[in-house]
């Protein structure tokens, strides 16, 4: 994995501090959120300001996101046409199986839901767009790690294990290798109560040939008393793989 430019990573971390809840922030607030020295934050906000990624209000001495960020957002959305294409097929699948059907991609060291469809059943999980999920314990995270290049996989796992206790690292790696083997044999990864007790899920990749886009994972999940391990592996797994292929064919 190529070396990381820390200044770029820190600049992006600053942009991530802004939200609908806190649309404006001061340098001191940004420093508190990012845990960076105020002098570093000041240099970075000045740079982002000059490039149009931030705006500054002289009266309040606070920053807000600039129009240049919207340009990046629109470019990303254009590259995620898969959401509009996949949504109706995901909803049909969710209604027929009473499961939660989700699309996700990598967001730094986690997986972010791009779309989720659930049935009207009150027992079905309901998850919104933009929710971040752990990578090591979820089926979507494991499927992502199973499909990336060896160098990216090694880098991500090293970074993720830094956040875990050393006592758990062997167990985590043993489970990951087990799921990578399952992916090679069956085309999907599992998480049977590993993310949360009583929650089962499987996930696979949506392979869009000839389309330059981020890796996108497709998962089905639900409470274990409704979506058992046997149901997932022996009945729904083939349907998940078929749904993934059907969505991918829309881009041929």
Q: pLDDT (tens digit, 9 = 90+) per residue, 41-78?
A: 999 999 998 788 898 888 899 999 887 776 676 556 65
The gap from C-alpha 248 to its chain's centroid, in whole angstroms, comes to: 19
For residue 6, how many other CB atoms are within 10 A of its CB?
Answer: 9
Q: pLDDT (tens digit, 9 = 90+) per residue, 195-208?
A: 999 999 999 999 87
Smallest CA-to-CA distance from 212 within 90, 76, 86 is with 76
> Which residues make beta-bridge pairs with 223?
199
Distance separating alpha carbons of residues 191 and 55, to the nearest angstrom? 43
Smallest CA-to-CA distance from 143 within 249, 84, 215, 79 is with 215
Provide the pLDDT confidence category of residue 212 given band limits of 50, 70 and 90: very low
For residue 186, how many other CB atoms are within 10 A of its CB?
Answer: 15
Average pLDDT for the chain: 88
Question: In this prediction, what percent of the chain has a pLDDT beyond 90?
Answer: 56
Q: pLDDT (tens digit, 9 = 90+) per residue, 167-198?
A: 889 999 999 999 999 999 999 999 999 999 99
């Amino acid at each position: 994995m190529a070396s990381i430019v820390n200044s770029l990573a820190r600049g992006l971390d600053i942009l991530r501090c802004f939200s609908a809840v806190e649309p404006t922030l001061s340098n001191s607030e940004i420093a508190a959120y990012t845990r960076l020295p105020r002098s570093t934050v000041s240099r970075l906000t000045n740079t982002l300001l000059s490039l149009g990624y931030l705006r500054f209000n002289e009266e309040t001495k606070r920053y807000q996101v600039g129009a240049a960020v919207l340009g990046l957002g629109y470019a990303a959305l254009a590259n995620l046409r898969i959401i509009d294409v996949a949504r109706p097929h995901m909803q049909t699948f969710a209604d027929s199986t009473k499961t939660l059907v989700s699309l996700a991609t990598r967001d730094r060291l986690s997986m972010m839901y791009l779309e989720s469809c659930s049935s009207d059943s009150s027992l079905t999980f309901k998850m919104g767009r933009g929710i971040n999920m752990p990578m090591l314990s979820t089926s979507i995270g494991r499927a992502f790690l199973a499909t990336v290049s060896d160098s990216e996989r090694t880098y991500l796992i090293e970074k993720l294990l830094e956040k875990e206790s050393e006592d758990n690292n062997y167990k985590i790696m043993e489970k990951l290798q087990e799921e990578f083997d399952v992916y090679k044999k069956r085309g999907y990864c599992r998480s049977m109560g590993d993310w949360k007790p009583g929650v089962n899920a499987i996930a696979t990749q949506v392979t869009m040939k000839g389309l330059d886009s981020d890796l996108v994972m497709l998962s089905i999940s639900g409470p274990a008393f409704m979506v058992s391990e046997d149901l997932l592996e022996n009945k729904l797994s083939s349907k998940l793989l078929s749904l993934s292929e059907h969505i991918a064919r829309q881009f041929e």
